[in-house]
Structures are given as structure tokens and as C-alpha cells.
Chains A and B, each alone.
Chain A
Amino acid sequence: MTRISVTVDGVDAVDEVEPRTLLVQYLRENRGRTGTPVGCDTSNCGACTVLVDGRAVKSCAMLAVQADGAEVTTIQGLSDGELHPVQRAFHERHALQCGYCTPGMIMAAVDLLGEVDDPTEQQVREGLEGNLCRCTGYQNIVTAVQDAAATMRGAS
């Protein structure tokens, strides 16, 4: 077992974990952050995407021990009372159906908008290429991300 110290959604904790524990397992099983789901076991689907020190990471592709000292933000810590503009836009634009890919999709979109504040449709499509959705056909996700970008530009 290895001792790690991780801040998850603003809460600091020190935990003993097996070195093989994936970050997503740690988040779900040790920290109870089940808002981040697991969609595959080969790091292809992106459903488990979280922010580690502000950048999008597929949390099934990172060991918990690698997150030692890091600040992790999950979908459950993205908003503080008020919805994040990306969350709001996903609701307004019907960018989710079953919602299973949504936490990862939203976190990946937040990361993308940190990089590009006014993305074209193609930039959104390519920026979210690592996150699979089986319900929406992506069109409303693209629109939602562009809407959120406009909102965030207006606010800054």
C-alpha cells in the first residue's frame, strides 16, 4: 500500500492505496465520487474524464499514486451551487440523453474551452474526439460547447 495525498473537489485527504489502483477506482471507491463513471477498460471512451491540476485526464488511464499531491476536479466539483456554463449549455441544448458519457464529455469540454475560447464546429468535434457518446450523434454536444464558449467569453 502507498500513502497518497490528493485534493478531490476541494477536499484534502490522505489515503492508503494499492499501487495498481486506477485514479477512477480511487475516486469512486475510496472517495465516493461516483459521479465519474467507467465506460471502458481501454481508455477509449472518455466517460471517466476528470481534471487533474486543471487539465483533462481519463482517470482510468492514470494510477491513483500518480495523482499524489494533485488537485482533482470531477463533475461533482465543477460547479459551486451555480451550474458551470458548460453544464447549463448541455441542459439547454439537449446535449445528453442517457447521461453516462456526460460527466466526461463536460470535463473534456471545459478543458477544450480553456485552450480555445471560440472554437469552430470542427475544433469542437476534434477536441472531443476522445470522448464517445452513443445517444446524441454529437450535434447538440457541439452546439452546447459553442454556446458555453460564447457565455464564457461574455463573462470574462
Chain B
Amino acid sequence: MTATQAREVGTARRRKEDAHLITGQTTWTDNIQLPGTVHAALLRSPMAHARVRVDASAARDEPGVVAAYSGADLADELAGLPSAWQVTPDWVAPEHRPLATDEVRYAGDAVAVVVADTRAHAVDALDAIEVDYEPLPVVLDMEQAMADGAPLVHGDAGTNVCFRYADTFGDVDAAFADAPVRISRRFVQQRLVPCAMEPRSVLVAPVPAAGEYTVWSATQIPHFVRLFLAMLSGVPESRIRVIAPDVGGGFGSKLDIYAEELLTFALARKLGRPVKWTETRSEAFQATIHGRDQIQDLELAADADGRIRGLKVDLLADMGAYLQLLTPAIPLLGRAMFPGIYKMDAYRFGCTGVFTDKTPTDAYRGAGRPEATFAIERMLDELAAELNVDPLEMRRRNWIRHDEFPYAQIAGLTYDSGNYEAATARATELFDYDGMRAEQARRREAHDPVQLGIGISTYTEMCGLAPSRWLGERGYAGGGWEAATVRLLPTGKVEAVVGTSPHGQGHVTTFSQIVADTLGVPFDDVEVVHGDTAAAPAGLDTYGSRSLAVGGVAVWRAAQRVRDKARTLAAHLLEVSEDDLEFSGGSFAVRGTPGASKSVQELAFAAFAAHSMPDGFEPTLSADFVLEPDDFSFPHGTHLCAVEVDTETGRVTIRRYVAVDDVGTVVNPMIVEGQVHGGLAQGIAQALHEAAVYDADGNLTTGTMVDYTPPSAADLPSFTLDRTETPSTTNPLGVKGVGEAGTIASTPAVVNAVVDALRPFGVRDVPMPCTPEHVWRALHDAQGGAA
């Protein structure tokens, strides 16, 4: 770590966050009980598309009911929901009412709200609301939605197309014209449900006389919630305090401004008392954003030896029924990542965003990059199979070599650093790649009904979601900076106030390690304050694996400023030049004068008392830093997966999974491993387990945990992890993000393994999730339906 004595950074500190979580002393939003609180419950449409007439008046007579409103009743008090990323000048961004006023557009779209003294009374009274549903034609499939004469999700828009985007790099026609090898594939990224364990919850407490509001929300983005509540309600930001207390996971699903947040705020304002809303899991499946849902048409051109010449990508991306905060941008965040770690001469990317009568999509762990990585890593395996070359060798022939960084890749990004050779060498060693290939050959020869497949994913991803200028050029309304304040308190303890907002990532521990090293104070003397706009007014919150690579660097910079200030004071008090001081172990000592020193704790009190200061010195030792990142950072790694596929039942079992990731400098290896474990689980879940499935009428048929089948402990293996460390060059800590890497890498590794097992049977793809049924059908179809 540059210019810092690394005692803490690099060590597996146990988390400060755990003590209250393992003892149940938690502050989930739904735990908060305020006097006089009333509870809101929403009536949701059972139909995917219908004209509605809603009369909520009868509910007002039900026991305990305080208020009941239809969308029309609140039309003047509720603004539409925002979408913050205008991806093209002529995008279609339909009005999105928190409560539908005349038309519902997905099953789960809310039509009315009841507020009552208890949650049970509120739910009971929903039955008294009268709704006439006049069914309208439903469109669920993207290609059908784009056909002439298709039913329109938004009649006023005149189209189901939200946007069309296209980019070309290099001479694509030349790359493809006489290419000896051309491979076309269609892959489907099924729709996923994020399933954070804590359902969403909002509590709004007003002080009516002062026009002030305190909002607790199970959100990843308290600062954005405050901003949008202010912009959409007209209440000044300074009178809105948003707190993200303990938040039980997000994975992107809580990176949003939701109808229920605006609605609960409006109800608290209208009723002048605290209002709470907490979603049920069944509501969460319908009304919290979904992820992925793309149809990917790909074409790759290569030389006879497999060198890639060009890649064409054409996406259909399902927006669902409305645009949430970042909906249209998600597929475009993958735009530059389809080339992966490979060199090529030309690249064309096209994407069409399409409305359907389904739950809106938005960011889900990886947000556009998993889809891109899946596509290119699957294509590399297809190319290898086409040319009968080992898929690892095929990657070697095309990847960027370690001596070529920084590397300006075909889609305009500059990869900061990496060493694909080193990560791959380590992974193949841990995996016993040659041994596994030998076993695979034996099983193939023996016609073993349980075949072995080996899957590879040599991924990279972009994390940090910055710089701000880059975001602005692409239509995003916000920026990518991050803020931190570090205060050395009079007692010598340290308070680090951060603009990121964790929900399981361990920021308190990680940032404490950074501050402890920078100021030379004990780890336990650092407190980290986050997730409260009154305590940490500046920040852009947590998503996109940005918290360490952007927020952590801001913390480090602020701590450095404090240290610089302490040095100035120390020099004054010791009556020497700053150049004569040496900082070590939390103390400034005069070089060559034993005993002449000042500890940061002494300086903290001296700066607080302010009895003797240099000219122009501001009392106290505190500093802010707002960091504008130079660029993204690009983690990478090599994941190897071995699966056993029972060709009689279609059952897939993961036999071995090795992940060697390079996330730059590691602050806390224990936390990094935990992030990789969890990421792997979610990526494997897409490959093998999960899919949001709708019936022909637009009902979500996988609307419970038991139908959606998020994996349990019994469904997953233990993973073998290792790391290489190639520091990032886009930030001074050398760190890269790790929150999404596992998810991005693992899905193609698993599917490549499944397909690899079945290649001798003529199978060249298995649609996700690779359930026994999908595997069996793929085998059956490949064998001409005779299996």
C-alpha cells in the first residue's frame, strides 16, 4: 500500500459488523417501532394487462383503517417514478405511476393502498376495495412484442421498443468477409429474481409542524432516495433524512427508487403520522425488480487457427413494463464487455430495449457484464470445439498478454492491469486440468452414463462505475465520485464517515483497516459511519463493485489529509521542520533526536484544545475528500468447473470448482473470499437452478422460494479459491472490486462444463437453467428425438 505502513491491510480481520448480527440486536427497517405508526398494505393487480377502475372507499369502513386510496385518489400527490439513465436521445420513457390510475401493465402493479392501525387490519381491508379489471391483450415475449400489430404495453407510446442502440468498432465487414471460420449462436439469458433475504421495507416519520421527514428504507442508495424524494415531492432535501439501517442484502434489487418509497412518503405527509410498509416475499417476487432477460444473437469470425477477427452482438433486452432507475442502461453496461479478455480487429454491438407486460428489470449482481461474459466465454468454447482445439489453448491464442497492459481494447475501454497467464496457470494446477481431461476421456471411451464435463471462464469485468464524465457522455444523470470524511477525535479515536452504504459487504471492517494503517492507530479505534444522510450527507452509495475501488480510496485520501495536518501540527509543537519528522507507528518523531515525538492521539487533543497552533491552522484534525476516479478497474480471473452429467436423468452435479481471481491489492482476504463464494453461488444459480417463468397470461409461476428454487446448502459444492494480485493502476491503493466477479465468472464456467460433457452426443448448447429437464431435452433433441 503506497506510502502507508501496511499492518492491517492484507490481514483477515474478523468483522466488526458481526456482533449485533449474530445476537439478533439488529435494526432492520421493519424492526423499528415508533409510537403512532400506521401500516400500509397494497392491493396488486392479478392481471398482467388491464384497464382498471378502482373504488377504495368501502375499505375505509373496515376495522382499524385510517385511510384507503386508489391511484386516482392520490394522482395529484404522487409524481411518477424516475429513470435516471437516458440511453438514447429518442428513448421511450413512459409514465410510471406508483399506483396505477387507469391501466395495469404487469401482474403485481399496485392499484390501491390501505393504511390501518395494524398490518393485519390493512391487509384485511384490501378485500373491501372494488376493482373492475377490463382485460387487455398481453405481450410477454420480446420478439412478439416487436412484431407488427403486437399488443402495446403502453398504447400512447405507439411502440413496444424503448430504444435502439448501435456501436461499431473497426471494419466489421472486412473482418467477416473472407473469414475461414464463422460461428453464429443464440443464447438466452433467462429472467432472474434477486431474492435478497430481507424484503424491502420503508418507514417514514414526519414532523408535520416543521415539515421534516425521517425515512428508514431497506435500500442500497439512501442518498439517491433522499434526492429523488426531494425532487419529486418538492420538500427541500435539507428536511429529508434518509437512513439505511441494517440492510439485508441487495444484489442490485435495492439500487432503485421504488413506488412504495414515494407512496409511503406521500402517505406520511398526508396523514401526519409515521407510516410503515413492508413487503411480503410474494410481493417481492412480483414488485421488486428482476434481472437479466436478454436474447443474445452472436456471430464470431476467426482465422483458421482460431485467432478472432471480429464479433457481432445483437441483443434484445426486456425492460419489463416500465423503466425503473437504471433499467435501459443495464444491457448497455455490457456493451464494451462482450470482447472480454480477447484481442480482435472489429466489433459491432447492437441492442434493442423492449417493453413487455412483466415486472420491470434493472440491475442484478453484475448488471450487464454477466450477460456479456457469458456470451463471449460460451463463444470461445464453441470456437474451440469447431476447430478441435483445447478451449484453454484457444483462449491463450486470443487473450491480451500480461506485457500488453494497459491495453486499449476494441470497444474503447483501457484495461488497467492483469495477468491472465498467471491466473490460468494457478487455476489449472489447482484443478488438475490434465488429470480431469484424462478422466473425461476414459469415461467417454467407457460410455459411462455419467459423463464428465470441464468448463472454463477466463473473465474480466469493469467495476467502479466511473468516471463521472464517462457516465455523463452516456446519458446517465448522475456521477461516479465518492466522498469520505475522517475525523481524529479528541480522545484519539477515529471516525470515518463514508458515502457508500453497505448491506453485507463489510465496509466497516475494510475501511477501518485502511484508516488504521494510514493514521497508525489501532483497528479497534476506528469507527465507520454510513447509511444516514444526516451523518454522511455526501455520497453515491453502493453498487457496481465501487465501494472499495472508489469509496475506499476516498477514505484513504481523507485519512492522508488528516495525517498531513497532524504532521504540520507536530512540527509546530516540536519546533522542527516537517521534513525533519518521520511518521511511524502512529507517531511523528524528530529524526536523530530520540524521545522527541508526538503521537497522533496527543496531536488529536492538541488540535482540539487549539492552544498552540501554527499560523492559519484550523483547529481539530478532520478532513474531507471527494474522489473522482480516473477510470474503471478491471478484475479478472480463471474459473474452472467440472460437472458430472447423468445422461439418463439429465442431472448435473458440480464435482470441482476452482476460482483464481485477481482483484488487485486485497485489503481483507477473508471478506474477499466471502464475496467470491457468494458471487459463485448466484452465478451457479443462474446456470443450474433459477428462472422467472411466466404463464401465457403473464402470471409469474415461480413466485415463491419453493418454485423459484434459490440454491440451498445442499445444492452447492465447496469451492477452491486462490488469488493472484496484479494491482490496479487506476487508483493509488491498487484495489479492484470483488462484489460481482464471482457471479460474472461462474455462469459460463458451469454451462461450458455441461455442454462439454455432452458434446460427444452432438449437443452444442443447453438453455439455462441447466435443469435435468433442459439437459435431457438437449440430449434428446441432439440425438434426433430418439433418446
| A interface, CB within 8 angstroms of B | 18, 20, 28, 32-42, 44-45, 47, 74-76, 78-79, 83, 87, 90-92, 94, 96-103, 106, 121, 124-126, 128-142
A97 and chain B: residue at smallest CB distance: B504
A18 and chain B: residue at smallest CB distance: B120
Contact A96 B22 (CB under 8 A): yes
Chain A residues closer than 8 Å to B712, beta-carbon distance: 125, 128-132, 138
* Chain B nearest Cβ from A19, distance in angstroms: 12
Chain A residues closer than 8 Å to B21, beta-carbon distance: 96, 99, 102
The answer for the CA separation of A32 and B33 in the assembled complex, in Å, is: 9
Chain A residues closer than 8 Å to B681, beta-carbon distance: 134, 136-138
Chain A residues closer than 8 Å to B649, beta-carbon distance: none
Chain A residues closer than 8 Å to B742, beta-carbon distance: 137
B680 within 8 A of A: yes
Contact A140 B504 (CB under 8 A): no
Given contacts A94-B670, A136-B678, contact A100 B713 (CB under 8 A): no
Given contacts A41-B280, A45-B281, A99-B22, contact A135 B504 (CB under 8 A): yes
Excluding A38-B199, A135-B504, 11 further A-B contacts by CB distance (< 8 Å) are A37-B31, A90-B18, A96-B18, A97-B504, A99-B22, A99-B26, A99-B248, A129-B713, A134-B710, A136-B674, A140-B674
Contact A76 B23 (CB under 8 A): yes
Contact A132 B25 (CB under 8 A): no
Chain B residues closer than 8 Å to A91, beta-carbon distance: 14-15, 18-19, 22
* Chain A nearest Cβ from B42, distance in angstroms: 14
Contact A83 B22 (CB under 8 A): yes
Contact B718 A34 (CB under 8 A): no
The answer for the CA separation of A133 and B196 in the assembled complex, in Å, is: 9
Residues of B346-384 whose CB lies within 8 A of A: none
* Chain A nearest Cβ from B770, distance in angstroms: 18
A20 and chain B: residue at smallest CB distance: B120
Chain A residues closer than 8 Å to B671, beta-carbon distance: 94
Chain B residues closer than 8 Å to A135, beta-carbon distance: 197, 249, 504, 674, 678
B674 and chain A: residue at smallest CB distance: A94
* Chain A nearest Cβ from B160, distance in angstroms: 32
Chain A residues closer than 8 Å to B18, beta-carbon distance: 90-91, 96, 99
The answer for the CA separation of A88 and B710 in the assembled complex, in Å, is: 27
B282 within 8 A of A: yes
Residue from the set A32, A39, A40, A99 with the largest chain B CB neighbour count within 10 Å = A99
Q: Point out the residue from B23, B505, B719 that lies within 8 Å of A137, measured CB to CB.
A: B719
A99 and chain B: residue at smallest CB distance: B21
Chain A residues closer than 8 Å to B680, beta-carbon distance: 137
Contact A121 B198 (CB under 8 A): no
Contact A132 B197 (CB under 8 A): yes
Chain B residues closer than 8 Å to A100, beta-carbon distance: 28, 196-198, 248-249
A124 and chain B: residue at smallest CB distance: B713
The answer for the CA separation of A102 and B33 in the assembled complex, in Å, is: 22
The 6 closest A-B pairs by CB, nearest first: A35-B24, A100-B248, A99-B21, A98-B504, A137-B677, A137-B681
A133 and chain B: residue at smallest CB distance: B197
B30 within 8 A of A: yes
Given contacts A41-B282, A137-B677, A139-B677, contact A125 B505 (CB under 8 A): no
B644 within 8 A of A: no
B677 and chain A: residue at smallest CB distance: A137
Chain A residues closer than 8 Å to B679, beta-carbon distance: 137
A-B CB contact pairs (8 Å), 5 listed: A40-B704, A98-B198, A99-B22, A99-B248, A130-B712
The answer for the CA separation of A128 and B704 in the assembled complex, in Å, is: 19
* Chain A nearest Cβ from B624, distance in angstroms: 29
Given contacts A42-B281, A97-B506, A99-B246, contact A134 B196 (CB under 8 A): yes
Given contacts A98-B503, A100-B248, A121-B718, contact A87 B197 (CB under 8 A): no
Contact A94 B15 (CB under 8 A): yes
The answer for the CA separation of A15 and B18 in the assembled complex, in Å, is: 33
B17 within 8 A of A: yes
The answer for the CA separation of A142 and B681 in the assembled complex, in Å, is: 14
B20 and chain A: residue at smallest CB distance: A99
The answer for the CA separation of A49 and B718 in the assembled complex, in Å, is: 25
The answer for the CA separation of A107 and B722 in the assembled complex, in Å, is: 32
| B interface, CB within 8 angstroms of A | 14-15, 17-19, 21-26, 28, 30-31, 33, 120, 195-199, 246-249, 251, 280-282, 503-506, 670-671, 673-674, 677-682, 704-706, 710, 712-714, 716, 718-719, 742
Chain A residues closer than 8 Å to B30, beta-carbon distance: 34, 37-38
Contact B713 A87 (CB under 8 A): no
* Chain A nearest Cβ from B455, distance in angstroms: 18
The answer for the CA separation of A100 and B199 in the assembled complex, in Å, is: 10
Contact A140 B197 (CB under 8 A): no
* Chain B nearest Cβ from A82, distance in angstroms: 11
* Chain B nearest Cβ from A24, distance in angstroms: 11
* Chain B nearest Cβ from A154, distance in angstroms: 20
Contact B677 A45 (CB under 8 A): no
Contact A76 B280 (CB under 8 A): no
Chain B residues closer than 8 Å to A74, beta-carbon distance: 24
Given contacts A40-B704, A76-B23, A97-B506, contact A142 B14 (CB under 8 A): no
The answer for the CA separation of A121 and B714 in the assembled complex, in Å, is: 10
Given contacts A42-B281, A45-B281, A98-B504, contact A90 B677 (CB under 8 A): no
The answer for the CA separation of A134 and B120 in the assembled complex, in Å, is: 28
B708 and chain A: residue at smallest CB distance: A44
Chain B residues closer than 8 Å to A35, beta-carbon distance: 23-26
Chain A residues closer than 8 Å to B504, beta-carbon distance: 97-99, 135
The answer for the CA separation of A116 and B26 in the assembled complex, in Å, is: 30
* Chain A nearest Cβ from B229, distance in angstroms: 24
The answer for the CA separation of A134 and B705 in the assembled complex, in Å, is: 12
Contact A94 B26 (CB under 8 A): no
The answer for the CA separation of A131 and B712 in the assembled complex, in Å, is: 7
Chain A residues closer than 8 Å to B678, beta-carbon distance: 97, 134-137
Contact A103 B24 (CB under 8 A): yes
Contact B197 A137 (CB under 8 A): no
B719 and chain A: residue at smallest CB distance: A139
Chain A residues closer than 8 Å to B713, beta-carbon distance: 124-126, 128-129, 131, 133, 138, 141-142
Contact B247 A42 (CB under 8 A): no
Residue from the set A28, A41, A75, A101 with the largest chain B CB neighbour count within 10 Å = A41
* Chain B nearest Cβ from A54, distance in angstroms: 18
The answer for the CA separation of A150 and B705 in the assembled complex, in Å, is: 33
* Chain B nearest Cβ from A32, distance in angstroms: 8
The answer for the CA separation of A141 and B718 in the assembled complex, in Å, is: 11
Given contacts A99-B18, A125-B714, contact A45 B705 (CB under 8 A): yes
The answer for the CA separation of A133 and B191 in the assembled complex, in Å, is: 20
The answer for the CA separation of A20 and B247 in the assembled complex, in Å, is: 29
The answer for the CA separation of A50 and B631 in the assembled complex, in Å, is: 48
Contact B22 A106 (CB under 8 A): yes
Chain A residues closer than 8 Å to B718, beta-carbon distance: 121, 139, 142
Chain A residues closer than 8 Å to B247, beta-carbon distance: 98
Given contacts A96-B18, A97-B506, contact A41 B281 (CB under 8 A): yes
Chain B residues closer than 8 Å to A40, beta-carbon distance: 280-281, 704-705
Contact B199 A39 (CB under 8 A): yes
A96 and chain B: residue at smallest CB distance: B21
Chain A residues closer than 8 Å to B719, beta-carbon distance: 137, 139
The answer for the CA separation of A106 and B120 in the assembled complex, in Å, is: 29
B22 and chain A: residue at smallest CB distance: A87
Chain A residues closer than 8 Å to B280, beta-carbon distance: 40-41
Chain A residues closer than 8 Å to B716, beta-carbon distance: 125, 137-139
Q: Point out the residue from A78, A94, A126 that lies within 8 Å of B714, measured CB to CB.
A: A126
Chain A residues closer than 8 Å to B281, beta-carbon distance: 39-42, 45
Chain B residues closer than 8 Å to A129, beta-carbon distance: 712-714
Chain B residues closer than 8 Å to A132, beta-carbon distance: 197, 705, 710, 712
* Chain A nearest Cβ from B637, distance in angstroms: 16
* Chain A nearest Cβ from B605, distance in angstroms: 33
Contact B23 A87 (CB under 8 A): yes
The answer for the CA separation of A122 and B714 in the assembled complex, in Å, is: 7
Residue from the set A40, A124, A132 with the largest chain B CB neighbour count within 10 Å = A40
* Chain B nearest Cβ from A48, distance in angstroms: 11
